[in-house]
Amino acid sequence: MKLLTFFLLLSSSAWAAADPYQEKPSASVQDTVKEPLRAEFSLEAAAGYLDNRAHLSENNCYACHSTFTYLPARSLIDPLAPEVMRTRVMLERLLTKLHDPKEAPKVKTSHIPRVRLLAAVELARHDAATTGKLSAITKQAFDFIWTKLQTKDGGIDWLRVREAPQAIDNWWPVAMIALGVEAMPQGDAQSELTKNGTEKLRGWFRAQSPQTLHERALTLLAQAAIGGILDEKAREEHVAALLAKQHADGGWSMVDLAPWQRKDKKPLDPQLTDGYATALCAYVLARSGQRNKTAIAWLKTHQRETGGWFTQSPFARDRIASNTGTSFAVQALAASGEITPPKVTAEQFEAAKAKSEAEVPATVFLPEQDHP
Tens digit of each residue's pLDDT (9 = 90 or more) over 196-217: 999 999 999 999 999 999 999 9
Name the H helices within the chain.
Answer: 13-18, 43-52, 70-74, 82-99, 112-129, 136-144, 171-183, 186-189, 192-207, 213-226, 232-244, 254-257, 275-287, 293-301, 318-335, 346-359
Cα distance between residue 264 and residue 103, in whole Å: 39
CB 130 within 8 A of CB 80: yes
Tell me if 30 is assigned to some domain: no
Average pLDDT, the chain: 85
| Angular region, 215: left φ>0, alpha ψ -120 to 50, beta rest | alpha
Q: Which domain holds residue 248?
A: 46-339
* Per-residue pLDDT tens over the stretch 56-72: 434 445 565 567 889 99
Looking at residue 354, its pLDDT comes to 97
The SS3 of residue 5 is strand
CA angle 209, 215, 219 (to 5 degrees): 80
**pLDDT (mean) for 285-305:** 97
Cα distance between residue 252 and residue 341, in whole Å: 26
Tell me if 361 is assigned to some domain: no
Tell me if 303 is assigned to some domain: yes
Looking at residue 1, its pLDDT comes to 36
* Per-residue pLDDT tens over the stretch 116-168: 899 999 999 999 999 999 999 999 999 999 999 999 999 998 876 666 687 77
Looking at residue 127, its pLDDT comes to 97
* Per-residue pLDDT tens over the stretch 77-93: 999 999 999 989 988 98
Nearest to 342 by CA among 73, 123, 48, 75: 75
Tell me if 371 is assigned to some domain: no
Cα distance between residue 341 and residue 28, in whole Å: 32
Cα distance between residue 85 and residue 91, in whole Å: 10
The residue type of 27 is A
Residues found in the chain = 372
How many domains does the chain contain in total?
1
Q: How many CA atoms lie within 13 A of 62 on its CB side?
A: 27
The burial class, CB within 10 Å (0-12 / 13-18 / 19+), for 245 is middle
**pLDDT (mean) for 236-264:** 95
Tell me if 22 is assigned to some domain: no
Nearest to 203 by CA among 153, 156, 158: 153
Identify the residue with better confidence: 139 or 114: 139
Q: Strands 4-6, 368-370: parallel, antiparallel or unpaired by DSSP?
A: antiparallel
The residue type of 260 is W
Cα distance between residue 73 and residue 325, in whole Å: 11
| Bond before 314 cis per omega within 30 degrees | no
Sign for the pseudo-dihedral over CA of 349, 59, 73, 303:
negative
Cα distance between residue 309 and residue 330, in whole Å: 10
Tell me if 323 is assigned to some domain: yes
Tell me if 325 is assigned to some domain: yes
Sign for the pseudo-dihedral over CA of 327, 328, 333, 339:
positive
**pLDDT (mean) for 12-24:** 35
pTM for the model stands at 0.89
Beta strands in 25-68 (DSSP E): 61-62
* Per-residue pLDDT tens over the stretch 224-247: 999 999 999 999 999 999 999 999
CB 170 within 8 A of CB 321: no
In the sheet where 364-365 sits, what is the strand order? 61-62, 8-10, 364-365
Indicate which CATH number applies to the domain containing 239: 1.50.10.10
Tell me if 354 is assigned to some domain: no
Cα distance between residue 347 and residue 243, in whole Å: 44
Is the per-residue pLDDT at 5 higher than 50? no
Cα distance between residue 304 and residue 29, in whole Å: 11
